[in-house]
Structure 1
Amino acid sequence: MDLIGMYLRDALGEGCPVCRILRKYEESEIDTILYEHVNNPGVREKFKESLGLCTYHAWKTLGKAYSEPLLGPLGVAIIYEHMLRTYITYLERGETPEEGECFLCRLMEEKERSTVEAFAERIEELLPEYERSESVLCRHHYRMLLQILQRGDPTAAERLKMVQIEKLKILRERLGAFIDKFDYRAKERPTKEEISALPLTIEALKGLETGVTVKRTGNKKSRRVFPWR
């Protein structure tokens, strides 16, 4: 197995492996922006295309800045002071700027596509690993992978379908057992696997919250609570 295959295999721990990879990638890119690109002219031009980042990534970046003692809000303030000056300039010229595509969303979409394609290219090696793992592809990434396989390897597509159904059935059984343990007649407490079945079920149906998920659902309203609010 090559390095990319090993990287994908290592993501087969719990939940959707593609979502988990995307979440780590998103966090890494936000760190890179805050630690290295605050004053980068090229990145600043990309920011100007959308007057900063999209709503979701703007608030996520600010939350990250406040949560890291070594960062603080200064870098974000520098970026958005420039964006505010840019916006004022537009208005003074009598223009109302359109918000372009968030460059971090674009990076996330590219990462999502390349990750699923890499999984499909290595399906013979990864499918047995996936079957043995606790991972369950979320609905969206399962569909992406299945569509690629249906075009290039129908046999692998059918195998993936059977594995996915079996994994979802196991998840449903665990979630059912979790519900049963709330009956007053139950004598046992929920197991670790049963407790985790609820968030994993939501992840299997809706995926993890990342920029691509929020953009796909069209809901960019942040639900995060910040200490100054």
Structure 2
Amino acid sequence: MKEGCPVCRILGEYEESEINTILYEHVNDPTVRVKFKESLGLCTYHAWKTLKTAYSNPLLGPLGVAIIYEHMLSTYIKILESWEKVKEGECFLCLLVEEKEKDTVEAITEKIEELLPVYESSEAILCKRHHEMIDSILRKKNPQSAERLRKVQLEKLKKLRERMNSFINKFDYKALERPTRGEVSSLPMTIEALKGLENGATLRKKERKKRTRGVLLWR
């Protein structure tokens, strides 16, 4: 397993793959276009990520994104001209990533016995969100593995804290050595361990919290 949260990395690769597939094969696909139209061009995060992906790949370029968003702009203009209310549904890429997250977490819990030793000996560290998701399933199905995972997770986090402390100490004016690569990487690794990487699944979680908070405030 690579450094960082393995679930976040899987979701990131899946997200990139889906965007590439859309831009390579489905720019003019009516079914996909309807899905774009439902959210008026995806959520903010995925709209910009789609454009960034297009510009970063010389084989793609901005044409496909331009074709899709010209349609979205025309749709918005028609809505305003007809005095209709602008309705924005859920981003279908967010829904896909959330479903992938659920499937990935469930697959890990099913193979936890063989994955635990691999995870323990790797540089990977599950982020808080994904450790909690896996733990909640294991506590019901396999409490012994849940406890083993908790101990492995704690050990990894403590080692990460040691690297962070060493990184901080290297900034002391008395320090004779520069931070190592492992110490430098401890900062983004710590943020990832606590907050994970941004993707459609985490964005949907934030949106749900906002909606719930809004309802509570209204009441």
Deviation of 1:88 after TM superposition, in Å, equals 2.3
Deviation of 1:89 after TM superposition, in Å, equals 2.4
- Tell me whether 1:147 sits opposite 2:139 in the alignment: no
What residue is the counterpart of 2:99 in the other structure? 110
Structure 1, unmatched stretches of 5+, are 1-11, 219-229
What residue is the counterpart of 1:190 in the other structure? 179
Among 194, 205, 209, the alignment partner of 1:216 is 205
Check whether the contact 2:94–2:203 (CA below 8 A) recurs between aligned residues.
no
- Tell me whether 1:94 sits opposite 2:83 in the alignment: yes
So what's the TM-score if we normalise by structure 1?
0.87
Residue 124 of structure 1 aligns with an amino acid whose one-letter code is E
Structure number with the higher helix fraction is: 2
Among 139, 147, 170, the alignment partner of 2:159 is 170
Deviation of 1:42 after TM superposition, in Å, equals 0.8
Q: Which moved more, 1:121-130 or 1:94-103?
A: 94-103
Q: Secondary structure at the match of 2:87?
A: coil
Q: C-alpha distance in 2, partners of 1:153/1:215?
A: 28
Q: Secondary structure at the match of 1:39?
A: coil
Structure 2, unmatched stretches of 5+, are 208-219
Spell out the pairing of 1:129-148 with structure 2 (5 A cutoff).
129-148=118-137
* 1:190-225 CA-partner distances (Å, limit 9, x unpaired): 22211111110000001012222233334xxxxxxx
So what's the TM-score if we normalise by structure 2?
0.91
Deviation of 1:104 after TM superposition, in Å, equals 0.5
Deviation of 1:175 after TM superposition, in Å, equals 0.5
* 1:148-176 CA-partner distances (Å, limit 9, x unpaired): 10111111111111111111000000100
Q: Secondary structure at the match of 1:14?
A: coil
User: What is the root-mean-square deviation of aligned Cα atoms in Å?
Assistant: 1.4
Q: C-alpha distance in 2, partners of 1:123/1:67?
A: 36
Q: Secondary structure at the match of 1:135?
A: coil
